Amino acid sequence: MATATRTVTEACLAAQHASHELASASTEVKDGALRRLAELLEERAADVLDANAADLADERVASLDAALRDRLALDRERIAAMAAGVLDIAGLPDPVGELLEERTLDSGLELRKLRVPLGVVAVVYEARPNVTVDCAALCLKSGNAIVLRGSSYAARSNAALATIVREAVDDANLPQGAAELVEGGERSELAELATQEGVVDLVIPRGGEGLKAALKKVATVPVMYAASGNCHVYVHADADLEMARRVAFNAKVQRPGVCNSAETLLVDVAVAESFLPGILGDLLEAGVELVGDAEARQAAGEVPVGEAGNEDWDTEYLGMKLVVGVVDSLDEAIEHVNRHGTGHSEAILTSSNEAAQRFTDAVDAAAVYVNASTRFTDGFEFGLGAEIGNSTQKLHARGPIGLRELTTTKYVLTGTGQVRE
């Protein structure tokens, strides 16, 4: 774990040194480290909760809204979920060494294309301390060293969890530099981390548009953006409205402070008057602030809906606020989603296979749902054990970043003395 006298560069160099040994570590050794990590999380839960309580008691955290405080908070159930996630990762196939292609070239060389670790992965994240464990576990299993830079709001929680990770690594006789934690805080430290060319192989930010913009200004290391989610739920004219009511409510309310929660509800004009009063009443009763366009406000009946400003359609609230719009057609809904969405998760409620196919083909997003909540975009739910984040770009991975997304490829060629003429 980083100390006050240790620089970001020193931590990254330690991780690079460790990455060389991790790349050839056996599956058995890596899985042993993960199983030990799961044990230690259960054994040290009280220490982690004490650290988390100190974070939550900090006067800076006291001023945060309820959704952000929820992202920071840990309890025994969430720690148990971390441990279970680590065991899930241990049970997944090891991607390292996977044979992707094998053939004989005209020269007689035997070509094999193999999956190999990236090397050193740096993860910059905000708020949620469970990310410390999720990301470390994924990197260990995929043979990568990790450099973690968490939020200063969760500094004590992250430090307690990183200490547990490092103990598990040590117990498995893997190099300590396999998991490095650097202090959060100054933007200068972020710049130092993002410019470690030749040392850090990939930076993955988990946070809002502010973090993304800050990295874009300074990064010289490749960056895979696991950024914001301005997610939409669209209710088509032929939707099962009771199903749509359940799905739309879940997508917004089940956990509003995360990137796969819905921020916009779009409803076809044909069902707006019959659908909106019920769902908006449910949302209002749950404490959701509602704003919408003129058509949505008119169709809302007695449910109070404020006037949406232009910025509302492009805002990731990460809280109990929702913008509501009425559209004239499926094509208008698709156009709206592609104009305002961030490429994260989008959903359509429909009984028409044709409408579902049109929506899934035309919407530009990492995950598109038919008759289901956007809240399922998650490495655990997708059977990946966990995720480092949800990539909203297209290279080199899109969607939940799991084990395979933390690897690259290597060609290995075997000959019998061939030379090129």
**Residue range 182-204, pLDDT digits in tens:** 976 667 788 999 999 999 999 99
Domain that holds residue 127: 8-226+401-414
Domain count of the chain? Answer: 2
On the 0-12 / 13-18 / 19+ scale of CB atoms within 10 A, 104 is exposed
* 319-330 exposure pattern, b = at least 16 Cβ within 10 A, e = fewer: bbbbbbbbbeeb
Quick one: tokens of 404? 């395979």
Domain co-membership, 208 together with 253: no
Which residue from 309, 316, 376, 308 is spatially nearest to 347, judged by alpha carbons?
A: 376
In a domain, 386, yes or no: no
Question: Are 247 and 371 contacting, i.e. CB atoms less than 8 angstroms apart?
Answer: yes
Any domain includes 420: no
- pLDDT > 90: what percent of the chain? 81
Alpha-carbon span 246 to 249, nearest angstrom: 5
Check whether residue 298 and residue 157 sit in a common domain.
Answer: no
| Domain co-membership, 24 together with 152 | yes
pTM (two decimals): 0.85
Q: Which of 140, 224, 236, 172 is nearest to 393 (CA)?
A: 224
Instruction: Report the pLDDT value the prediction gives residue 394, as an integer from 0 to 100.
Output: 84
- In the predicted structure, residue 78 carries a pLDDT above the cut 60: yes
* 385 assigned to some structural domain: no
pLDDT above 70 (res 86): yes
Q: Is residue 390 part of a domain?
A: no
Query: Do 312 and 348 sit in the same domain of this protein?
Result: yes
Which amino acid, one-letter code, is at 47?
A: D
Where is pLDDT greater, at 120 or 228? Answer: 120
Average pLDDT, whole number, for the chain?
A: 94
- The strand pair at 145-149 and 120-125 is best described as parallel
Residues 199 and 300 placed together within one structural domain of the fold:
no
Q: Which residues are within 8 A (CB) of 272 and not within 5 positions of it... i.e. 6 or more apart? A: 295, 296, 299, 326
Same structural domain, 221 and 238: no
70 & 161 share domain: yes
3 pLDDT exceeds 50?
no
Residue 332 lies in a domain: yes
Q: What is the CATH number of the domain that holds 303?
A: 3.40.309.10
Helix-helix angle 76-90:45-57, to 10 degrees: 130
* Residues 370-393: b if buried by 16+ CB within 10 A, e if exposed: eeebbbbbbbbeeebbbbbbbbbe
Degrees to nearest 5, angle at CA 372 with 235 and 339: 55
Residues 275 and 139 in one domain: no
DSSP result, 336-363:
HHHHH--SSEEEEE-S-HHHHHHHHHH-
Segment among 19-33, 63-77, 331-345 with least mean pLDDT: 63-77
- Same domain? For 211 and 295 the reply is no
The DSSP bridge partners found for residue 205 are 124
Taking phi over 0 as left and psi of -120 to 50 as alpha, with beta for the rest, 399 belongs to: left
Q: How far is the CA of 369 from the CAs of 233, 235, 332, 349, in angstroms?
A: 9, 12, 18, 8
Residue 246 lies in a domain: yes
Q: Which residues pair with 233 in a beta bridge?
A: 265, 347
| Length, in residues, of the chain | 421
The predicted pLDDT at position 396 comes to 83
CATH code, domain with 406: 3.40.605.10
Q: What is the DSSP string of 283-333?
A: HHHTT-EEEE-HHHHHHTTTS--EEPPGGGGG----SSEEEEEEESSHHHH
Residue 405 tokens read as 């997304």
Is residue 273 packed enough to be buried (19+ CB in 10 Å), middle (13-18) or exposed (0-12)?
Answer: middle
CA-CA distance, 135 to 326, in Å (whole number)? Answer: 40
In this prediction, residues 210-232 reach a mean pLDDT of 89
- The C-alpha atoms of residue 141 and residue 130 are separated, in whole angstroms, by 17
Give yes or no: residues 67 and 53 share one domain.
Answer: yes
pLDDT at 356 over 50: yes
> Is the residue at 295 inside a domain?
yes
Strands (E), 137-288: 145-149, 179-182, 202-206, 231-235, 262-268
Any domain includes 242: yes
Same domain, 215 and 69: yes
| Mean pLDDT along residues 392-418 | 93
My answer on whether 203 and 237 are in the same domain is: no
Q: How many CA atoms lie within 13 A of 327 on its CB side?
A: 21
CA distance 120 to 17: 9
Question: Could you give the C-alpha distances from 81 to 33, 34, 47, 133, 382, in angstroms and in order?
Answer: 18, 14, 16, 11, 16
Structure token pair of residue 70: 């929820």
